[in-house]
Amino acid sequence: MKAVRTDRELECPDIDAGLRARGVELVTLPDGIPEAELIEAVADAELILMCYTPITARVIEAAPKLRGIVKYGVGIDAIDIPAASARGIPVVNVPEYAEETVAEGAFALMIALAKRLPEIGRAMAADGWIWPEQRWLGRDIAGATVGLVGAGKIGRSMARMAGQGFRARVLGYDPNVDRATLAAAGIEKMDDLHAMLRECDFVSLHCVLSEATRGLIGPAELACLKPSAVLVNVSRGALIDEAALVEAVLAGRLGGVGLDVYSQEPLAKAGHVLSPLFGRDDVILFPHLTFFTVEAMRRLSDDTLARCFEVLDGRPVQVRSRDPRLRAQRENVAFA
């Protein structure tokens, strides 16, 4: 049996060891590998594990022995699911391993910006001490208004931290979640995104990327925010019009920005639309690592191996995601 795992820069020693212990020939490939080289590598593979590298229709067609595609993570936008389904090849992700973890990461970005931790830390490192001058004033989350764009499991975890943990008022914009469900999570449902943004001191994005949400936070939405508002995104980079975001930050129209995801990854200090934001005291650029904790990686490894073994043993693959693209599969899957 042969498996190909892309994006080897994301180290997964337990996944790799678990597959090899089962006698699987495992080939790991780097991020950004050209499609032609990936096609060559999967020609005799029975299993593909991917995180970021696109698994296109051409890649799938080039793998006649392929029995399954496992995303060791959540997002499935880079997989041509119709091409896989046409051949009865199941596609599965690991949707639950980092829900609390990513919410903690979003909250960490928010509180770091509120308390001005990056710039104060840099000043301390440079000077050894600073005094309480006006320029170092932080802000409280208690009593502030936190707005959530998207209120699935991660968003609701964020709501609990902000509301029950810090006594913030929590608003939520999510057309797919009813008012009663949000109220049970301590979230006031808002039906108008612009109206919600105008009220917020902090905004955190927690929605999936789709054609409806691509560029959801654009020039008009950024203009709704208070000049003191903090914007956090740990979901998908393309939810934000990044060029418009840069313009707003450079013009001083936002109080702070914390990003962990980008429409083009990896980020770069030059040549990227967001490059002008490097080195700013009011911006935290995190390298898509809010998911990366000891506990989350253990859960990811366990669940990924379970799905891989289902594929290799010829058993139906458990689909735990509620994503309709995965729930539409009809062959070689079982829904949890």
Backbone angles phi, psi at 202, to 5 degrees: -135, 140
Percent of the chain that is helix, strand, coil (3-state, to 5) = 40, 15, 45
> Given 253, 265, 299, 320, which residue is catalytic?
265
Place of tokens 């902000």: 162
Specify whether 206 is catalytic. no
What is the DSSP code (8-state) at residue 55? B
Q: Vertex 246, ends 240 and 252: CA angle to 5°?
A: 120
SS (H, E, C) 148-167: EECCCHHHHHHHHHHHHHCC
Structure tokens at 168: 């913030």
Residue 259 to residues 2, 27, 240, 284, 286, Cα–Cα distance (Å): 37, 32, 10, 6, 6
Q: Which two tokens stand for residue 99?
A: 């829900």
Compute the distance between CA of residue 192 and CA of residue 35 in angstroms, rounded to an integer. Answer: 42
| 198 φ/ψ sector (left φ>0, alpha ψ -120 to 50, else beta) | alpha
Tell me, what amino acid is at 191? D
The question of whether 288 is a catalytic residue gets the answer yes
| Residue 170 β-bridge partners | 146
Catalytic residue, candidates 236, 242, 307, 310: 236
DSSP state of 290: T
Catalytic residue among 288, 299, 320, 325: 288
Using left for φ > 0, alpha for ψ between -120 and 50, and beta otherwise, residue 264 falls in: beta
- Between CA 158 and CA 146 the distance in angstroms is 10
Count of residues making up the chain: 336
Residue 236 a catalytic site member: yes
How far is 203 from 259, CA to CA, in rounded Å? 12
Q: How far apart are alpha carbons 328 and 136 in whole angstroms? A: 52
Catalytic (active-site) positions:
236, 265, 288
